[in-house]
Amino acid sequence: MDKPKMGLVETVKNSIVGAIRGAGDVGGGVVEAVSKTLVATLEGVAEVGTSLLAAISDIVRGAIHGAVEVGGDLEAAVKGIVLGLLRGAKGAGTVTLETVGTLGSTVIKHTAEVAGDLGTAAKGLIAGVVEGAKEVGLDATQAASAAATGALKAAGEVSAEAGQKVRQALTGTIAGVKVVLKEPFKKTP
């Protein structure tokens, strides 16, 4: 990883660690820290679409690493990360279902990096997406489906066991929304 990316990841990680330790409020502290970081990162960037996805990945990595480091509630932390990212992305005017799907994938990949519970992370992801979708003007059911599909695809790339764990966690209703899983298409050789 290059130096600027590591700088953002470390900055976010330290912000999350400080927010969780300082406030004891995993959700609120994480939302604010993530949202402010995304907005600050995107300021002055010419191609917001491309840089938004890169910033989301770096911020999710740092935030998840920070939450796991302090032993915070992973589900609440992921929900806070997602809410913060959606609020920050709304400020940049760039929240789409594609962004939400990418967010789902990114959360699972970075949770797997730290050997976090993928089912717990998936539930936090959907809870955050459902709440955040309402705030940014997306249909909550469509946003939950996009995030779940991204999460399921990423989990399948981690391992078959990870895919099964995420599928089980996302079956049913989360945060008042019935999650509709759409199978990721597999490439044929």
Q: Give pLDDT tens digits for 59-104.
A: 889 889 888 888 878 898 899 889 988 988 887 676 889 889 999 9
Say whether 174 sits in a helix, a strand or coil: strand
Q: Are 32 and 40 in contact (CB under 8 A)?
A: no
Q: Quick check: is 183 in a domain? A: no
pLDDT in tens, 89-146: 887 676 889 889 999 999 999 999 999 999 999 999 999 999 999 889 999 999 999 9
Q: Quick check: is 185 in a domain? A: no
> Could you tell me the residue range of the domain that residue 48 belongs to?
3-172
Q: Quick check: is 39 in a domain? A: yes
- The whole-number pLDDT of residue 4 equals 46
Q: Quick check: is 178 in a domain? A: no
The number of domains in the chain is: 1
Q: Quick check: is 186 in a domain? A: no
Structure token digits, residue 167: 């599928």
DSSP state of 173: E
Q: Quick check: is 189 in a domain? A: no
Say whether 70 sits in a helix, a strand or coil: coil
pTM of the model: 0.83
Q: Quick check: is 179 in a domain? A: no
Question: Which range among 2-11, 169-178, 180-189 has the greatest average pLDDT?
Answer: 169-178
In 3D space, the residue among 29, 89, 94, 88 whose CA is nearest the CA of residue 63 turns out to be 29
In 3D space, the residue among 91, 124, 88 whose CA is nearest the CA of residue 107 turns out to be 124
Other beta carbons less than 10 A from residue 71's beta carbon: 8
